[in-house]
Amino acid sequence: MTDVPGLSVGVAQNGEAQTGCTVALFRDGAVAGVDVRGSAPGSSEIEAIKPVRVVDKIHGVLLTGGSAFGLSAAGGVIKYLEEEGIGYDVTVTKVPIVPTAVIFDLRVGSSKIRPDLEMGYEAAKNASTAHPAIGLHGVGIGASAGGISGGDRSRGGFGTTSIHIDDKITVGVMTVANPMGNVFDNKSGKVIAGNLDRNKWILPKSGEPWIENTVLVLVATNAKLNKEEATKVAQMAQDGIARTIIPSHTMHDGDVVFAVSTGSEECNINVIGDAAAEAVAYSIILGVSAANGIELDTTIRKL
């Protein structure tokens, strides 16, 4: 993810409570788009970045645990950016725009300890261009997967990877997989996380599956995109979720994909969107595999 110029990533977590958050910061601002495909999302500032809104750039994207409670962590990121003089200029001050989305992890660790303003501030302060750890880290520390049958779940996790195009364009992604569906390696068809019993891959006729699920994604590129194009890239990137998680985008998932542009390199939007979908699929596989102790080749792939 941090191969993309113009951004940094920070992490903060509570290991005992198994909850945390991961933030990407754009000190010079970034053009953004968003696509919400799940039917049970938890988010803030989504409306502000839609194409017909006045906000032209954002200054961070926060992915956090804690369900709706975790939205308060955005206040810490905003506080940090304000102290750094970063934000939307309203003459009397600068207002940082930080879209935020959450996963439900309250059943995994402590339901009483959630990411808050202090944790969000810590994550922002920790932001750097170093590659963030994958697996059970940051927003992924309390993630789980495969609640489709209502039984025990596997660990979900945080992933990140990049695809390079013609040595000029970079498409980076970071993902947190916390889905109702099972997670597959889309190349081999192998189940990585979820219910290994194929007879339980169909929703039960009675009762409910685990109903608190979500996959969150941030796509970033140094390709030049306007808000409409960034929104289209976010839409195309959703395909990466569908390639690796079955079922996906259900009534019980809150899947959200953000897409941002930090640069000015010219590139066909279809190429960017296709690369984003492939990177999303691979990032999900990497993160969930790391969380469950499955070894995979983490070499960055070239398109």
Q: How far apart are CA 74 and CA 224, in angstroms?
A: 27
pLDDT tens digits for range 65-124: 999 999 999 999 999 999 999 999 999 999 999 999 999 999 888 889 999 999 999 999
Contact criterion met (CB below 8 Å) for 183 and 288 = yes
pLDDT average, residue stretch 282-302 = 78
Where do the structural domains in the chain lie, given as residue ranges? 24-60+129-302
Check: pTM over 0.75? Answer yes or no: yes
Q: Which of 124, 123, 69, 115 is nearest to 96 (CA)?
A: 124
pLDDT tens digits for range 157-213: 999 999 999 889 999 999 999 998 889 988 888 888 877 655 555 555 555 555 567
Q: What angle do CA 82, 85, 88 make, to 5 degrees?
A: 75
- Only one residue has tokens 């891959």, namely 201
Q: How far is CA 71 from CA 21, 31, 44, 75, in A?
A: 10, 22, 7, 8
Answer whether residue 295 shows pLDDT above 80: no
So what's the pLDDT on residue 302? 42
CATH top class, domain 24-60+129-302: alpha beta
- What percentage of the chain exceeds 70 in pLDDT? 89
Q: How far is CA 131 from CA 243, 286, 287, in A?
A: 25, 14, 13
- Only one residue has tokens 């916390």, namely 178
- Only one residue has tokens 């409670």, namely 69
The band of 300, judged by pLDDT with boundaries at 50, 70 and 90, is very low
pLDDT tens digits for range 57-71: 999 999 999 999 999
